[in-house]
Amino acid sequence: MIENTKFQHRYNFAFIDESTKKEIRRKLLKAVAIPGYQCPYSSPEMPIARGWGTGGLHVTLAIIGREDIFKIIDQGSDASVNACNLRDFVQAMTGCRTTFDTTEATLIQTRHRITEEALTAEQVFVFQVPQPEPLRSVERYEYRTRQMHGEADYAKMWVSLYESFVRHGDILLGAGYPVRINGRYIMAPSPIPRWDIPNLHQAETLYLFGAGREKRLYAVPPHTTVEPLEFEDVRFHIEDFNGQVCNQTGYRKAFLDEIYSDDGSKQFVVNDSNFLDKLRAGEPIAPFVNAYIQQIES
């Protein structure tokens, strides 16, 4: 009797069918070839709602292999409900090993953070992106923003930075600070804190961005120039936390969360959960080094 193995598994490896994966990979290649350019893609249906990380998941599932070790973080935490659910899903659909350890992972998916530990050429880093269009805040029509990107017509974006300075005395774009990629496209780095922006610049790692709801993929390949928009006399800077340190470890060269106690007092703690665990256990750490972090006194 001929055995039909096709229907023994309910899903294809990594859930998405192979031809759709191919389509996503082709678009990723295009995105890598034109750093910072938003490449439209099919954004197939997933068993989670758009807006909950489908774009990141598409990228992850299109490129994951059986040997990959997968890590997923949500706002720096391996333990958030969203991260746990997506981790379980990827694990169930691929059988891949998962980890919390940033250095052990080969494929990392994230929402709103880059890890504190430096990423390597052996790793791929995938962002879930809610709003891929950096110009949306200054131009509501898609046909106009495409034209603006096509012609590198970014004056309006600059004016909005100028306005932010006029109103607040600083360029107060907290999360999702616009960056110029490879001297050409302005890109939304997804809502990561300013703290993470310098770590996109001339990195070792391939950074991939997926926006499922908006059906866009884009990329920052390794060793790409990534410049935050800044004026000659009003410069980009990272969060400074007013000299606060992590109240659990005394560490200060990491992005800190503000925690409010029941008595209303404010405390700070390292946001990256795996980094915090390592600090507390006294394990060796290999954090990102950049000019902005170096300026902070330890």
Amino acid at 67: E
Which of 30, 136, 156, 213: binder of other proteins (CB under 8 A)? Answer: 156
Query: What gap in Å lies between CA 174 and CA 252, rounded to an integer?
Result: 19
Which of 120, 147, 202, 294: binder of other proteins (CB under 8 A)? Answer: 147
- Smaller CB separation from other proteins, 236 or 251: 236
- Smaller CB separation from other proteins, 32 or 229: 229
CB of 166 to other proteins, least distance (A): 5
* Contacts to other proteins from residues 6-65, by CB under 8 A: none
183 binds other proteins, rule: CB under 8 A: no
Query: What gap in Å lies between CA 27 and CA 216, rounded to an integer?
Result: 9
- Smaller CB separation from other proteins, 11 or 231: 231
| Binding piece for other proteins, criterion CB under 8 A, among 29-37, 148-156, 207-215, 242-250 | 148-156
CB of 199 to other proteins, least distance (A): 24
Query: What gap in Å lies between CA 252 and CA 297, rounded to an integer?
Result: 8
Task: Please identify which residue in the block is written with the tokens 């997923």.
Answer: 72
Query: What gap in Å lies between CA 96 and CA 30, rounded to an integer?
Result: 27
CB of 175 to other proteins, least distance (A): 21
144 binds other proteins, rule: CB under 8 A: no
Query: What gap in Å lies between CA 118 and CA 105, rounded to an integer?
Result: 12
x/- track of binding to other proteins for residues 218-237 (CB under 8 A): -------------xxxx---
Q: Which residues are within 8 A (CB) of 159 and not within 5 positions of it... i.e. 6 or more apart?
A: 138
- Report phi then psi at 71, rounded to 5: -130, 140
Query: What gap in Å lies between CA 177 and CA 114, rounded to an integer?
Result: 14
